[in-house]
Amino acid sequence: MTLDELHSALDDALKAGEIGVPVSLRLHVQLAAADTDAVGLLSALMPLAERAFGSQPQRLMVRRCENADQLSVLFDYAGGQTCFVTAGKGCTKHSSLQLVLFGNHGVVRLEEGQLVEPESFRETGDAKRLRELIDQCVAGAEPIVIPRN
């Protein structure tokens, strides 16, 4: 599965309206390649949340493994929505992705450990800013408000 296919599947689910209003998104990605940049991967996934919630996050909380092979980030949105993303690298033989989007009337699941094509995950222009925010949050060990440009 490519990132474009994932966007398409999520768009189809949202257009169908069967889940109602999206309230929580959970993404778990494990890539086989140890040289993957976890923050770059995270930046490639964030447009999925923006599509689901129609806005950008306002606050984030981060947990990062000491050896930086896994990164978990909780994003809070103005409407009360949350997005929890775990991005890992180098700990598995096959890259996989799990997505669960909860709405107020149903759930969309792509969580059978779908095989993903790592090369389809392109870092976005927001990766540098996201990296700075994550480093700031890790250093302070507390949630931070995301400043608006």
pLDDT in tens, 58-114: 999 988 776 667 889 999 999 999 999 998 887 777 778 888 999 999 998 876 555
SS3 category, 84: strand
What is the Rg, in whole angstroms, of the alpha carbon atoms belonging to the chain?
Answer: 15
Q: HEC string of 11-24?
A: HHHHHHCCCCCEEE
* pLDDT tens, residue by residue, 10-49: 888 889 888 999 999 999 888 877 777 778 888 888 888 9
Domain total of the chain? 1
pTM: 0.85
Residue 135 belongs to domain spanning = 3-145
Closest to 13 (Cα-Cα) out of 45, 46, 52: 52
Q: Is it the case that residue 126 has pLDDT exceeding 60?
A: yes
- Residue bearing tokens 């999206």: 22
| Tokens 């409407």, residue located | 79
CATH of the domain at 32: 3.30.360.10
136 pLDDT band, cuts 50/70/90, is: confident
From CA 102, how far away is CA 115, in angstroms rounded? Answer: 22
Q: Which has more pLDDT, 122 or 62?
A: 62
Q: What are phi and psi of 39, to 5 degrees?
A: -70, -40
